[in-house]
Structure 1
């Protein structure tokens, strides 16, 4: 059995939902799937706008946006269902959900305060609506399907906005509720991204949490595969919007995928990999619009990996824009223990994550999200020495197993970048990532040069695949 997670673009329209239903039907011929859905594309952002308008006292604006959410989902009902009785029943269920949304809007507007708890409640409506429509459409197409409210299973802590599951409780509930349905041949349709505390307060797992939901459910239920259905042909060698010749990667290790996720690759949520690694469940990244394409399989299975060996070293290139560099220079660093601990305690106090780091005897350079800079942070850092800042940069990471131990790879990387000004270089302890920083205006040149160096000719043989629809 497999868990099938469909992202927002894979269910964002009636046409997309029909396509997803056809993919589910094909899976049902092999085994009964567990289907996990995101909200329809654009709906979560709209719900956040509704939340902000409600908290700002803009009742009319919030209700108008709620009307757009209603129109979208009722439009799906009109296109997907033809039998009048089934359509009328589904409309009633949609209206019930939307009535609760409008009550929440009015309640927050009256109180005049938008809390993280309320924000999570607003966000939950997207997944509740998409799964309600999808399950009904699946049933109308003749499938044995059951809608399940994941909030009765995904029990989390009370960290609203970034809740973490209480795994023992979740595993027990998934085994009790979902497993018997799957065993009986009933396709289960449920929500990603959301959960609830033990006392029933709605929470969210953070943006991208639908991937995590799917992976956790796959691990708790001991399913054989985790399928992530999206709008690209698997994990790509780099962003195809930057390099039109980007290829899809047929196979990669969990460590490579995890590194890419943390370094800015958009296909997988960073937390998705952990449950799959724990249970050694293969993760398939597949294209909803090209279901026959092989996509990418992420695994540590030596049989799969040996069957797709390749001569090249690099699997993919990840880019994270919107970064800034902070350079700290201080003679106090030289030979002094505890300096780095004190320095990074400043970033911890401001809840700032450092992306890359490079050091010498008397200086430290780090990259952080450009939005994190404040005068207070910089003032505190100046207690350690001279500080200067560079804005508008991007981190570029070359990822592949055993890069650090491979002779000549650094020469190839930096030889390819001879025409690009590198602001900072960082390799550190990772064996599978070489990172550097360039100005955002140099990203396109850097990525194209690297892609040409590593993903052409023999380097691409056996492991990469031209995406469906491309020559």
Structure 2
């Protein structure tokens, strides 16, 4: 039994969905041949739809009801076209179900126009519709193509806390419901199509796992069902040595460890949601990153069992839109408890720290979520002098045992110096597989390109790189 997650570009139009159906068909046929349970298919919204739903919500809440309704009509037209091009008959029930969802959204727009307040809970309700639209259409198309398929509402299975917008699963409840509701269907040989990104509280209120959370959903379901593997189908060939939009010559990694993938995902690699790896690691389930546009490629295998190559750089990730917060205080000299005070302020503001570096009387740290930056600055200024540096980017070099490998750090920083790039902050000791640093956002692309030339220009195909 496997979980197959398809991203937005994999289901963006009729041609893409037909491609998905054939990929699923091969996996379903293999499951029948080997007497295994059918695959669980987890789908994202069609590419661009979630962004439109967010925009629709903002328009309605700001009193632009007509514009919001126009955008809703364009979303409906997209899915109507998809049905028309993908399905040949018996679409009445599908249109009726989708129309019910669109009518509900229209009513929410009217209510938002009156209330003028968009709460996280209401935003989750609106945003969840993208996955409902795409999964309903895909399930019907798979049935029409001859694959016995059942549509399942993820909100009845993926139970979360009530942290709307960034909900976390209650894994024990997910396990219980997945075993009761999904396993019997899959064991009977029927493919189940469900949604990524969305869940619900114990009381039934719709939640979302955060942007890009469909990967996370797939991993949660895979852990709950004890699947043999999790497949993440996207529009790139696998995990790359860098972002191919910045480095066109980036190479594909054939295999990497869970730890390496987790570092890359957290520090900006776009292929995986940062939380995806956690349930897979806890249950030792291998994850495959594959390209739905080129399904013949082997992609990237992420696993716990991998040969070590000390000092080998595997990939370079970057994350823009960061802020450095510099704190200076003599309270730190020969004292304890200061870091605790700082951490408590960030915890109370529900703001994660990405990177941190300390000296005798100062702390530098970075954050990506600036929602509560003003609050943080105010509270931190009560215990230290505060200096804020905006428009910076984190660069993350990931590889095998970098901390214990002489010369790697020297190559990194000499390459940056040669390129005329100033390093504003360094954080290396906390992880043996990651060297991280901060540069001006305007230098990020240049830094990534220079480092990629340094470490990968002479790399040929081998056991690690394609």
TM-score, normalising length: structure 2 = 0.93
Deviation string 1:117-151 (CA, Å, 9 cap, x unpaired) is 21111111111110011011111111111111111
1:265 aligns with 2:275: no
SS at 2:313 equivalent: coil
Q: Check conservation: 2:355, 2:427, Cα contact below 8 A.
A: yes
Correspondence for 1:446:
447
Q: Distance in 2 between matches of 1:252 and 1:408?
A: 22
Q: Which runs of 5+ in 1 are unaligned?
A: 466-471
Q: Check conservation: 1:37, 1:190, Cα contact below 8 A.
A: yes
Q: Distance in 2 between matches of 1:375 and 1:201?
A: 31
Correspondence for 1:456:
457
TM superposition shift of 1:237: 0.7
Q: Check conservation: 2:7, 2:45, Cα contact below 8 A.
A: yes
Q: Check conservation: 2:428, 2:435, Cα contact below 8 A.
A: yes
TM superposition shift of 1:354: 2.0
Q: Check conservation: 2:351, 2:372, Cα contact below 8 A.
A: no
TM superposition shift of 1:458: 4.4
Between 367-376 and 394-403, the greater mean CA deviation after superposition: 367-376
Say if 1:442 and 1:113 are closer, same or farther in 2 by CA, change over 3 A. Answer: closer
TM superposition shift of 1:167: 1.9
1:414 aligns with 2:413: yes
TM superposition shift of 1:459: 7.1
SS at 1:228 equivalent: strand
SS at 1:457 equivalent: coil
Q: 1:325-404, aligned counterparts within 5 Å?
A: 325-369=324-368, 371-372=370-371, 374-404=373-403
Deviation string 1:322-372 (CA, Å, 9 cap, x unpaired) is 112222233332212122222333333333322222221122212223845
Q: Distance in 1 between matches of 2:77 and 2:63?
A: 23
Q: Which runs of 5+ in 2 are unaligned?
A: 32-37
Q: Distance in 2 between matches of 1:224 and 1:322?
A: 37
Correspondence for 1:76:
82
SS at 1:336 equivalent: coil
Q: Distance in 1 between matches of 2:63 and 2:383?
A: 44
Say if 1:89 and 1:350 are closer, same or farther in 2 by CA, change over 3 A. Answer: closer
Q: Distance in 2 between matches of 1:411 and 1:5?
A: 40
1:33 aligns with 2:39: yes
Correspondence for 2:66:
60
Q: Across the two proteins, how many residue pairs are aligned to each other?
A: 458
Q: Check conservation: 1:312, 1:458, Cα contact below 8 A.
A: no
1:5 aligns with 2:14: no
Say if 1:385 and 1:121 are closer, same or farther in 2 by CA, change over 3 A. Answer: closer
Computed over aligned residues only, the root mean square deviation of the Cα atoms, in angstroms, reads 1.9
Between 438-447 and 73-82, the greater mean CA deviation after superposition: 438-447
Deviation string 1:236-268 (CA, Å, 9 cap, x unpaired) is 111111111111111001111111111111111
| Candidates 129, 133, 147, aligned match of 2:133 | 129
